[in-house]
C-alpha cells in the first residue's frame, strides 16, 4: 500500500470512528441506551482505548444496572486519562445508585477540582446530598449550579425537593415551578410537585401531578415510585 492509499484508509477509519462517536453521544443523550451501547461497542471494535466510547458504554451499563461492568469501563477511562472528569462523575453516579453516598460525594468533589464551573456536577452533588439527608448543604450546591447555569432546569427541581424536606414549602414550590417552566417534560419535577401538594393538603392537585409524571415516562427513567404514589393516594 502506497502512502496515499494508507492516508486515505486512515482518514476513512477516523471519519467512521468520529461518526459512530457522535451517534453514540446523541443516542445516550436521548436515553436510547441500547442503541447507544451498540454504537459505542462499534467504536471500541475499531479503537479499544477510545475514551468517549468507553465512557458511554459504561453509562449504558449503569442504566442497565450492571454496575460492576460500568465501574470497570469508567476505571479504564480514568486509567488511560486521569483528568477525563466525565468518567469520574459517572463513577459518582454509580455510587449514588448503589446508595454509597459518601463515595459518590468524593467522586463529584474530585470532578469539580478538574471542572470547577460545571453546573451539572454541582447539580449531581446537591442531589446526592439530598438523598443522604444533608439538605442545607444540598441547597448550597444547587444554588451554585443555578448561578452557573440559570436556565438549567434540574437544579431548581432538586433544590425545591431539598427545601420541601426542610418544610420551606413556599420556596420549594417556586423552585419546582421554575424547573417546569424551563423544562415542561421533566417527569421527576411533576412527581416532586405532587409530593409538595400532598404535604400542603392539596391531594387532588397532587394526583394530577403524579399522572403527568406517569405520562411523561417517569417509570422508564426512574422506576415505580409514581405508580405506587398513584395507587396509594389517587385510587389506582
In whole angstroms, what is the distance from residue 155 CA to residue 176 CA? 9
Q: Is residue 2 part of a domain?
A: no
Cell numbers describing residue 111: 470532578
Is 8's pLDDT higher than 50?
no
Q: Is residue 48 part of a domain?
A: yes
In the chain, at which residue ranges do the beta strands (DSSP E only) sit?
none
Work out the burial of residue 197: count CB atoms within 10 Å of its CB; fewer than 13 is exposed, 13-18 middle, 19 or more buried. buried
Number of domain units in the chain: 1
What three-state secondary structure class fits 125? helix
What three-state secondary structure class fits 211? helix
With pLDDT > 70 as the criterion, what percentage of the chain qualifies? 93
- The radius of gyration of the chain's CA atoms, rounded to the nearest angstrom, is 20
| Exposure class string for 48-82: b at 16+ Cβ within 10 A, else e | eebbbbbbbbbbbbbbeeeeeebbebbebbbeeee
Is 82's pLDDT higher than 50?
yes
pLDDT, one tens digit per residue, over 108-165 is 999 999 999 999 999 999 999 999 999 999 999 999 999 999 999 999 999 999 999 9
Residue ranges making up the domain that contains 23: 14-98
Average pLDDT, the chain: 91
Is 17's pLDDT higher than 70?
no
Work out the burial of residue 29: count CB atoms within 10 Å of its CB; fewer than 13 is exposed, 13-18 middle, 19 or more buried. exposed
Cβ(123)–Cβ(155) below 8 Å: yes
Is 1's pLDDT higher than 60?
no
Kindly indicate the confidence band of residue 11, based on its pLDDT and cuts at 50, 70 and 90.
low
What average pLDDT does range 172-200 have in this prediction?
Answer: 96
Q: Is residue 36 part of a domain?
A: yes
pLDDT at 23: 85
Q: Is residue 188 part of a domain?
A: no
Q: Is residue 75 part of a domain?
A: yes
Q: Is residue 39 part of a domain?
A: yes
Q: Is residue 74 part of a domain?
A: yes
pLDDT at 31: 81
Task: List for the chain the helix, strand, coil content (%; round to 5).
Answer: 80, 0, 20
With pLDDT > 90 as the criterion, what percentage of the chain qualifies? 75
Residue 78: give its domain's CATH number.
Answer: 1.25.40.10
Q: Is residue 116 part of a domain?
A: no
Amino acid at each position: 500500500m502506497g502512502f496515499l492509499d494508507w492516508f486515505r484508509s486512515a482518514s476513512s477509519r477516523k471519519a467512521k470512528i468520529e461518526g459512530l462517536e457522535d451517534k453514540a453521544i446523541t443516542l445516550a443523550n436521548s436515553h436510547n441506551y441500547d442503541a447507544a451501547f451498540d454504537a459505542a461497542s462499534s467504536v471500541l471494535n475499531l479503537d479499544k482505548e477510545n475514551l468517549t466510547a468507553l465512557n458511554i458504554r459504561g453509562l449504558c451499563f449503569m442504566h442497565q444496572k450492571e454496575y460492576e461492568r460500568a465501574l470497570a469501563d469508567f476505571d479504564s477511562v480514568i486509567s488511560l486519562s486521569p483528568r477525563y472528569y466525565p468518567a469520574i462523575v459517572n463513577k459518582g453516579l454509580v455510587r449514588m445508585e448503589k446508595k454509597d453516598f459518601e463515595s459518590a460525594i468524593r467522586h463529584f468533589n474530585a470532578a469539580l477540582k478538574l471542572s470547577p464551573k460545571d453546573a451539572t456536577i454541582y447539580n449531581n452533588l446537591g442531589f446526592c446530598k439530598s438523598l443522604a439527608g444533608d439538605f442545607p448543604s444540598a441547597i448550597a450546591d444547587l444554588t451554585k449550579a443555578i448561578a452557573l447555569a440559570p436556565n438549567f432546569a434540574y437544579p431548581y427541581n432538586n433544590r425545591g425537593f431539598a427545601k420541601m424536606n426542610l418544610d420551606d414549602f413556599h420556596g420549594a414550590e417556586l423552585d419546582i415551578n421554575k424547573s417546569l417552566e424551563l423544562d415542561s417534560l421533566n417527569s421527576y419535577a411533576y412527581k416532586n410537585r405532587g409530593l409538595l401538594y400532598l404535604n400542603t393538603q392539596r391531594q387532588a392537585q397532587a394526583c394530577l401531578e403524579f399522572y403527568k409524571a406517569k405520562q411523561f415516562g417517569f417509570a422508564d427513567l426512574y422506576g415505580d415510585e409514581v405508580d405506587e404514589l398513584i395507587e396509594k393516594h389517587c385510587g389506582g
